[in-house]
Chains A and B, each alone.
Chain A
Amino acid sequence: MELEKFTYDNKLAKYFIYATITWGIIALLVGLTAAFELIFPSLNGGIPWFTFSRIRPVHTNGAIFAFVGNAIFTAVYYSTPRLLKTPMFSKTLGAIHFWGWQLIIVAAVFTLPLGYTQSKEYAELIWPIDIAVVVVWVIFGINFFGTILNRRIKHIYVSIWFYIATWVTVAVLYIVNNLQLPTSFLHSYPIYAGIQDALVQWWYGHNAVAFFLTTPFLGLMYYFIPKAANRPIYSYKLSIIHFWALIFIYIWAGPHHLLYSSLPDWVQALGIVFSIMLLAPSWGGMLNGLLTLRGAWDKVREDPTLKMFVVGVTAYGMATFEGPLLSLKTVNALSHFTDWTIAHVHIGTLGWNGMLTFGMIYWLTPRLFNTKLYSKALANTHFWLATLGMLFFSIPLYFAGFTQSLMWKQFTQEGYLAYPNFLETVTQIMPMYYLRAFGGSLYYTGVILFAVNIWKTVRVGKFVRYEEFSAPALEKVPVIEEKIAWGWHRKLEGNVAKFTIFALIAVLIGGLVEIVPMYLVKSNVETISAVKPYTPLELEGRDIYVREGCYLCHSQMIRPFRSEVERYGEYSKAGESVYDHPFQFGSKRTGPDLAREGVSSLPNYKPDSWHYNHMLDPQKMNAESIMPPYPWIINNNLDVSHTASKINVMIKLGVPYPKDYASKAVKDLNTQAHKIGENLRSAGIKVDDNKEIIALIAYLQRLGTDIYKDRELNNND
């Protein structure tokens, strides 16, 4: 049999390792900073770009797309050629992929803190960057599928299945969720509004977890665990079943992020039942990972790489057990909007993604540099710091979430809310926030040790850029296949086009069934005639709210519970958010819900002057408040140069402004601003009509008022 010679180029794997570590250090440091800002709200020092709500998206996007993303690409660029016995398809495309991705991250690191955001969680990047992401993703796809076409092995291995599902699904999710109309080079409105926008966003958000944090990491696990342990995969059949079940079921589960919201019951129910059915397929991955280590447990005790893998895979099992649990309505009624969710995601990211990434790099670096790991002791210390850090991070947050939620719901014997002041429930859990920051610090120290260890290893070793291999060309390989059950799947593994199409169909079904009827069937979003579009001033105020990231601490979704209706007013209706491009429901209540902030007959109502003082210095109104001060909103002049174009885009999106309203918008804006300005001045505040704060106040005072209009008239007489 004639052998063909070829070489693997390790350069990109090396680059991606460096990028993973660099961005890991940055993204986690930003996270740690955010944790401290929650304890010391004035830590932002009045600097806009350093404020909690501006840097939190840097942390989340950084952790997901920069740290985990580069780890994924490390795994793909190292394992794909070896699994397919061919070099990567194109070095040029590889280089464009690498540098393009890093440039995107740099762009994110600058735009997000400056307030350029779409305000959709993990999809905050503004539209020009979105386009760059799609381009780079396509380049990655060409390089990846090109490699598959050149392969010298007929059947593709389970890692490759997961990479394929990742590529296809992320492409679909990213494009659909980011459809939007620009109002300027740096700003746009999504084509979806309100509850429909929320459904699309959480279909995306949930499946970013599925197809960016999970499937590529399962691919990584399937390559690096058997390699590092030198053990065969526990069960090929399990691989097949859990792969297809996982990708088909995952896509349906998004609505569990919107339980008890104004999403119709039937969509919520689909989210619930599919989340429950997701447990076994997820655990299939965990089992196949852990059981692959049978016969190698003695090595696990010795080897920091394997130890990390074991904790990582176990964390995956915990997170995927908890996920279905949190999808049960009774549990979700407690957990949602609290720190419980934060704890949950960090088991996934710090545990599963973090530990697998560390393990992979500990294993890979010595091989790429033809040397031994600089210090095993240091790696062991890292292992313990990471494990303890994870526990100190999440256990207090579970406790915090539980405690705060019970306080929100508790009534006195006389039937009043036991803690009518929201802030009391925050103050109660502050010690847990301290512990979380401590846990984060432990974990972060571990990451620094990791970076040092890898750096030293690189310094000692010598980079092996090319590895020579040989194998027969694909046509020439005699297929010696043993007849086993499930041969049909084996055939599919040999036909990558078919495989990819099947995967695409599997992931499209759930999204289509849930999203399409939300548009076509009118009854899913009832029309409320009292609900009117925002005035131009309110719209500008809303854009400030979006820019500052207020949605990261404040929800705008009152759930249909007595405890929430008592606290915040009538529960939120789908018809109320039909002009909300983008929706601002939020997912975390670090501060109170603001859905009805403007309704003067409700207990949370505040006069204009209060908002003015509060934005300037929240701690003056409530010494214990952890809301950051926003003095620049008081000082900045409102930019009205895009108001007309914003109104025009809204009209295109179907918001019923009068036909050529754009030309009158600024005049109306000024009139309304003058009224609020007068009101503030009459309360003794020196302020000009053209400040941003005026627009923000206009927006806050509008919130939730539409359906209360009739009632307020009645109340006032």
Chain B
Amino acid sequence: MTTENKNIRNHQDGYEIDTLTNDRLIKGHDYDGIRELDNDLPSWWKWLFYLSIVFAIIYSVRLFVFKSPDLIQADEYNNEMADFKKNKSKINANQAASFEVKLLTGDASLTKGQDTWTKICAACHLADGGGLVGPNMTDNYWINGNTVQDLYNVVTNGVIQKGMLSYKDQLSNEKRLQVVSYILVKLHGTTPANPKAPQGKKYE
């Protein structure tokens, strides 16, 4: 079944021309009626290919011969960390200067505290503070003390053996204070849906 193709005309030199494009067909290339044109590779395509090969060569030479630090993973990482450490000491100095562990009662601070609570702490203490893996925050029982400073210390250093994490590398001291204040001002004294049994000592 060779498909009848009206678009082909024989040239006087013996080769055939595709009349729709005026391109030359290759004689003898006929597969179930499919013909092939003798077009050259588009030159922009060739350039694309050459350029990609040049890229590959430059990249390889930079990595294998010159060992460029921006291509070697461990160097990239060490540089990123070194940059950060330079800035970090500055940030720490600023923070330490103006910070004091004191109960916050402003609405803005408490809302931010609540935000941290639901996003991070609720996974163990539940959103309403009733407790699940971690203890109940609404009752008068505390394992590690009931002052702002006590709670702040727990959140900062964690009680790792018991499953409470240290948040000093994850939350700024400001945020830690906000969430602790949120516990003491807003959660404490409320009635959660499924309160966990009291743990620790009773504080009046």
Contacts and interface: CB of A to CB of B under 8 A. Distances in A.
Partners in one complex: yes
Interface in A205-264: 223, 226-227, 230-239, 241, 245, 260
A377 interface: no
B25 A232 contact: yes
B36 interface: yes
A294 interface: yes
Contacts of B25: 232
B1 A469 contact: yes
A603 B163 contact: no
A280 B45 contact: yes
Interface size class of A (residues with CB under 8 A): 35 or more
Given A157-B34, A236-B37, A417-B170, A605 B49 contact: no
Contacts of B97: none
Given A283-B45, A413-B91, A420-B170, A233 B37 contact: yes
A716 interface: yes
A547 to B, nearest CB: 25
Interface string B21-42: 1010111110111111111111
A53 to B, nearest CB: 21
Given A230-B5, A234-B39, 9 more contacts: A235-B37, A245-B49, A277-B52, A414-B91, A414-B95, A423-B119, A467-B1, A621-B122, A716-B160
Contact of B123 (A85, A157, A560, A622): A622
A562 B91 contact: no
B163 A606 contact: yes
B123 A295 contact: no
Contacts of A415: 84, 87-88, 91
Contact of B165 (A223, A235, A272, A603): A603
A469 B45 CA distance: 40
Contacts of B127: 623
A94 interface: no
Contacts of A467: 1
Interface in A587-611: 600-601, 603, 605-607, 609-610
A130 interface: no
Contacts of A83: 31-32
Nearest to B6: A230
Contacts of B120: 420-421
Interface in B156-174: 160-163, 165-167, 169-172, 174
B133 interface: yes
Contacts of A236: 26, 29, 36-39
Interface stretch (B70-78, B102-110, B143-151): B70-78
A237 B41 contact: yes
Contact of B71 (A230, A265, A295, A421): A265
B113 to A, nearest CB: 15
Interface in A611-648: 613, 620-623
B84 A481 contact: no
Contacts of A413: 91
A309 B15 CA distance: 30
A510 B88 CA distance: 45
A683 B25 CA distance: 81
Q: Report, nearest first, the 4 A-B pairs whose CB atoms are least far apart.
A: A607-B163, A295-B20, A280-B49, A273-B56
* Most B Cβ at <10 Å: residue of A232, A412, A423, A613: A232
Contacts of B27: 480-482
A223 B35 CA distance: 11
A484 interface: yes
B81 A484 contact: no
Given A287-B45, A415-B84, A277 B171 contact: no
Contacts of A155: 29
A230 B71 CA distance: 50
22 contacts: A83-B31, A232-B18, A235-B36, A235-B39, A265-B72, A269-B63, A273-B55, A280-B52, A284-B45, A294-B21, A414-B172, A415-B87, A416-B169, A416-B171, A424-B119, A480-B27, A481-B27, A482-B26, A561-B80, A562-B80, A603-B165, A607-B162
Contacts of A294: 20-21
A232 B45 contact: no
B63 A279 contact: no
Contacts of B191: none
Contacts of B31: 83, 153, 157, 159
B98 to A, nearest CB: 12
Given A269-B60, A571-B77, A610-B163, A227 B33 contact: yes
Contacts of B80: 561-562
A224 to B, nearest CB: 10
A259 B114 CA distance: 39
Nearest to B33: A227
Contacts of B132: 613, 620-621
Contacts of A274: 56
B127 to A, nearest CB: 7
Contacts of B56: 273-274, 276-277
Contact of A421 (B28, B52, B119): B119
A82 interface: yes
Nearest to A296: B20
A521 interface: no
A3 interface: no
B37 A232 contact: yes
Contacts of B12: none
A415 B90 CA distance: 11
A266 interface: yes
Contact of B34 (A223, A287, A420): A223
B14 to A, nearest CB: 8
B124 interface: yes
A159 B31 CA distance: 10
Contacts of A260: 73
B72 A622 contact: no
A177 B171 CA distance: 44
B28 A481 contact: yes
B171 A272 contact: no
A226 B35 CA distance: 8
Contact of B133 (A479, A565, A607): A607
A134 B27 CA distance: 40
A281 interface: yes
Nearest to B172: A414
Nearest to A623: B127
A239 B21 CA distance: 19
B91 A603 contact: no
Contacts of B77: 560-562, 571
Interface in B47-100: 48-49, 52-53, 55-56, 59-60, 63-64, 71-74, 76-77, 80-81, 84, 87-88, 91, 95
A499 to B, nearest CB: 15
B10 to A, nearest CB: 13
A566 interface: yes
B41 A238 contact: yes
B52 A621 contact: no
A571 B77 CA distance: 10
Nearest to A79: B32
A603 B169 contact: yes
Contacts of A420: 120, 170-171
Given A283-B45, A609-B133, A603 B167 contact: yes
A412 B172 CA distance: 9
Contacts of B60: 269, 273
Nearest to A269: B63
A610 B171 contact: no
Interface in A506-553: none
